[in-house]
Amino acid sequence: MQLAVLVIFLAAALTPWLYNRLHGQSANVLALVPAALTIWFAMHIPAVAGGEVIIHKMQWVPGLGISFDMMLDGLSLLFALLICGIGTFIVLYAGAYLKGHENLNRFLVILLAFMASMLGLVLADNLVTLFVFWELTSITSYMLIGFNHQSAEARKAALQGLIVTAGGGLVLLAGLVMLGSAGGSYSLQDIFNSSRVLTEHPLYVGMMVCLLIGAFTKSAQFPFHFWLPNAMAAPTPVSAYLHSATMVKAGIYLLARLQPELGGTELWITVLTSVGAFTMLTGAFLALRNTDLKKLLAYSTLMALGTLTLLLGIGTELAMIGFAAYLLAHSLYKGALFMLAGIIDHEAGSRDVRELGGLRKKLPVTAVCTLVAALSLAGIPPLFGFVAKELLLESLLDNMFSYVILGMVILASIFIVCVAALVAIRPFFGAFKAGKDEDKVHEAPSGMLAGPVVLVILTVLAGLLPGLAGDYFTLPATFSVAGHEVEGYLSLWHGINMALMISIVSVLLGLLLFKNWDSVYSVLRKLDPVIRRGPEAGYFKFMDGLVATAEWQTRVLQNGSMRNYLRTIILTLVLLTGYTLFSRYQLHWNFGVDFTFYELAAVVLLVAAAAGACLTSSRMGAVAYMGAFGFFVAMIFILFSAPDLGITQILVETLTVILLVLVLFRLPSFSNISSPMDRASDAFVALLTGALMTCLIMVTIDVQLFEPISGYMIENSVPLAHGRNIVNVILVDYRALDTLGEIFVLALAAMGVYAMIKFKPSTAPGSNHHAGTLILPSKRIPEKDIVHSWQEIHQRMLEEQNIVDAQPEEDEDATEQRSVNETRGSDSETKGEPKS
């Protein structure tokens, strides 16, 4: 299994080379890699369906308990098959969708790297490995969403996705560490097999909250949901892959994976059901006020992710069966729908359902596929979406979970029927409307159609043969989620029962809603002011606050004055060390030290040199005094029989004086510009430091925390290290790794000095006035795309989501100002006006 992940990474690495030979055809060749892996994983189905857990062991950092072990159980297998199976068609699709795009090779590299990371994530047995792959998916998805890096919107959306998911990732790391220490091991298998009861562990609540935040950010649960619709700025293959079947399901995967260990408590059930249900309803509701096909699908994905969380929260056996079925059903139809939306966009030149119509004659295959996939989305028999939805309703009815949640589910399914109808009926029926002329609209190439067609056929097959899909795919996954064998089966027909009635009613109401969608849409537009105060506004507030804090602390701490830096560093040191020193140790003023005449002489000269350096008014004089000071220190080293230190000190002092002399010639002539007050405060800081160092030395003489290791070093220097000079043995043998680090630091410092002296200020900071775009432009960005504040980004994203009408080009300032005032009312919050 390690090899499976590695092979995809390898394919990613080889892509540029392959692309140079095959150009547009390289995608078709690369698709063979995930295709082969799909078959390989499929061969494990019988064993895993029989309840086996396949584990491949591999060492990584044994000393820290971090392994590269991978495991394949029902849940992992279902995910692995989805990742590789859908991945195959996505690669094919991308090859056709981005045909002739100058960066197609780059796209394929990142796509494959993402695929490998995602596969590693669902196979990893070790928590640390899992986290590494988790972060890799965040990073690769950042690059995929921002693929059209010329567009400011895509960059912002990518950054927003990254900040939300990577921020959640940090919290997740804390949760995983707590899980590892509470469970006694970082291996998932060990944690499952141990007898410890994590739900009664004192860390349980903290660990659960951290893990949930990590999972919720990744899976776009409320209130972190806003990044997902914005991420639709990505090219369609990315949306079809990341935002339907893989990346956003990573959080769901983690929750499902931990369900047997952490689930079942009241807290878990409450949080998961309420967050899940709320996300579900928010997604379904917000979907209604969009006209962009991809946005419609993105919000319906939110609804599906919420539903999955809800099912995990309910936690009954029926809910677990429903969870796995819903997961599979959603991945199949949503992947297909995204790809189909991309085809419509690609071939008809628009994604807005208001601008599309009557395409069924021109795009017959697309039309049929969209219709079938949308029926599955709406949950209509005999498609697999229906099977999954029935299970959801039944698991809610089964234990009368809560009427509120049941009501929310019914409402959400009404909305989603309307969304499905919008996606499937609007673009294909009625009078012909498209973004292009009628004779320029053609059916998509086979590479783009292959994915949707296969996924739609699978949806139909799984719907007609639910027993088969259940036994081999979803029920094994259910076992992993439930933690034990579950009695159950999937079937299309459950008889005439409550769930069926609810389904029929919601479909009818949904169609009614669709009939009146135009008026509903205009009503929903009136809610815009409320929506723009949603969690996303909080995100922008947070980002603005972050920038403001960074500006403030840079102004205070990094103000470019050497004296200020020194003062800050020294005072921090004195305060922190001094506090520890005086709160923990008693000082003994022990002056009973013997010293010889030579030592006394050296000390007196040393103090005299230091005083001279402070008092002299000539730079050269100060350098000379400092040099003298260094030589007296060397003298003390030699008096205390440390010849190596003495020699080093003398040499370093000599070279320092040479360097200082060279540098000082570059400075303007010496002038005393600081006031006596300044000098007094500097002297105070200096004396404080001196006092602290003195106290430290007094304490070190008195206190011995542990046996000094010098004894061991002296004893073993000759027998182990074959050297009599202990200082050198320490440097090159005992502590060679430290020395290695130090020579690298030295080299870097030298390079830094060299760069500072040699490079002229034409490339200095300040010449880059695109800093506000946060990403260095590769080409010159048109002035209108440069964004100066987060408020402005917010404004643009809202425009993108149709919340605020895009402003006409001319007189932008005035109109934008007006729209801000209109939507925000006379509120005092209108502080930062968007600049343009």
Partner 1 sequence: MMKPGTLILHVAARYLVPLQLILSVFLLLRGHDEPGGGFIAGLVASGAFALYLFTFGATVTRDLLRVDPRNLIGIGLCLGMVSIFPALLNGEPLLTAQWWNIPLPGDSYMKMSTPLIFDIGVYFTVFGSVMLMLIALTETEEH
Q: Residue type for 608, please?
A: A
Q: Between 3 and 746, whose beta carbon lies closer to partner 1?
A: 746
Q: Between 566 and 726, whose beta carbon lies closer to partner 1?
A: 726
Q: Is 655 a residue that touches partner 1 (CB under 8 A)?
A: yes
Task: Kindly determine how many residues on this chain lie close enough to bind partner 1 according to the rule CB under 8 A.
Answer: 40
Using alpha carbons only, what angle is made at residue 496 by residues 494 and 501, rounded to the nearest 5 degrees?
110
Q: Is 643 a residue that touches partner 1 (CB under 8 A)?
A: yes
Residue with tokens 């141990």: 194
Q: Is 555 a residue that touches partner 1 (CB under 8 A)?
A: no
Residue with tokens 């090859």: 95
Tell me which residue of 83, 85, 111 sits closest to 27, measured CA to CA.
111
Asked if residue 222 lies in contact with residue 306, where contact means CB atoms within 8 angstroms, the answer is yes
Asked if residue 370 lies in contact with residue 424, where contact means CB atoms within 8 angstroms, the answer is yes
In this chain, which of 190, 352, 355, 733 binds partner 1, going by CB under 8 A? 733
Asked if residue 386 lies in contact with residue 379, where contact means CB atoms within 8 angstroms, the answer is yes
Cα 601 to the center of its chain, rounded Å: 63
Tell me which residue of 536, 396, 383 sits closest to 460, measured CA to CA.
383
Helix (H) or strand (E) holding 464: helix 446-464
The sign of the dihedral angle between the CA atoms of 785, 788, 791, 794 is positive
In this chain, which of 21, 722, 780, 831 binds partner 1, going by CB under 8 A? 722
Task: Tell the smallest beta-carbon distance from residue 3 to partner 1 (Å).
Answer: 24
Pick the piece of the chain touching partner 1 (CB under 8 A) from 158-166, 299-307, 534-542, 726-734: 726-734
Pick the piece of the chain touching partner 1 (CB under 8 A) from 86-94, 266-274, 627-635, 718-726: 718-726
Please, how many CA atoms are within 13 Å of residue 76, restricted to the half-sphere of its CB? 24
Rg over alpha carbons for the chain, rounded to the nearest Å, is: 33
Task: Tell the smallest beta-carbon distance from residue 636 to partner 1 (Å).
Answer: 16
DSSP string, 66-82: EE--EEE-HHHHHHHHH
Q: Between 611 and 655, whose beta carbon lies closer to partner 1?
A: 655
In this chain, which of 600, 714, 736, 771 binds partner 1, going by CB under 8 A? 736
Token representation of residue 657? 């004086």
Q: Is 714 a residue that touches partner 1 (CB under 8 A)?
A: no
Tell me which residue of 12, 21, 70, 76 sits closest to 48, measured CA to CA.
76
Q: Is 64 a residue that touches partner 1 (CB under 8 A)?
A: no
Pick the piece of the chain touching partner 1 (CB under 8 A) from 292-300, 593-601, 670-678, 751-759: 751-759
Q: Is 716 a residue that touches partner 1 (CB under 8 A)?
A: no
Q: Is 654 a residue that touches partner 1 (CB under 8 A)?
A: yes
Task: Tell the smallest beta-carbon distance from residue 642 to partner 1 (Å).
Answer: 9
700-723 burial: b if 16+ Cβ within 10 Å, else e: eeeeeeeeeeeeebeeebeeebee
- Site residues for partner 1, 470-529, by CB under 8 A, read none
In this chain, which of 557, 691, 714, 740 binds partner 1, going by CB under 8 A? 740
Tell me which residue of 453, 426, 442 sits closest to 347, measured CA to CA.
442
Q: Residue type for 395, please?
A: S
Helix (H) or strand (E) holding 491: none
Helices (H), 516-639: 517-525, 528-531, 535-557, 562-584, 597-615, 619-639
Q: Is 61 a residue that touches partner 1 (CB under 8 A)?
A: no
Task: Tell the smallest beta-carbon distance from residue 742 to partner 1 (Å).
Answer: 9
Q: Is 749 a residue that touches partner 1 (CB under 8 A)?
A: yes
Q: Is 652 a residue that touches partner 1 (CB under 8 A)?
A: yes
Token representation of residue 73? 């159980």
- Site residues for partner 1, 156-185, by CB under 8 A, read none
In this chain, which of 64, 743, 764, 776 binds partner 1, going by CB under 8 A? 743
Pick the piece of the chain touching partner 1 (CB under 8 A) from 40-48, 280-288, 416-424, 724-732: 724-732
Q: Is 721 a residue that touches partner 1 (CB under 8 A)?
A: yes
In this chain, which of 648, 773, 789, 836 binds partner 1, going by CB under 8 A? 648
Residue 731 gets which letter from DSSP? Answer: I
Q: Is 751 a residue that touches partner 1 (CB under 8 A)?
A: yes
Q: Between 575 and 655, whose beta carbon lies closer to partner 1?
A: 655
Site string for partner 1, 661-690 (x = CB under 8 A): -xx-xx------------------------
Pick the piece of the chain touching partner 1 (CB under 8 A) from 14-22, 254-262, 269-277, 659-667: 659-667
Quote the CA–CA distance of 8 and 6 in Å, as a whole number.
5
Residues that bind partner 1 (CB under 8 A): 643-644, 647-648, 651-652, 654-655, 658-659, 662-663, 665-666, 721-725, 727-729, 731-733, 736-737, 739-740, 743-744, 746-747, 749-751, 753-754, 757-758
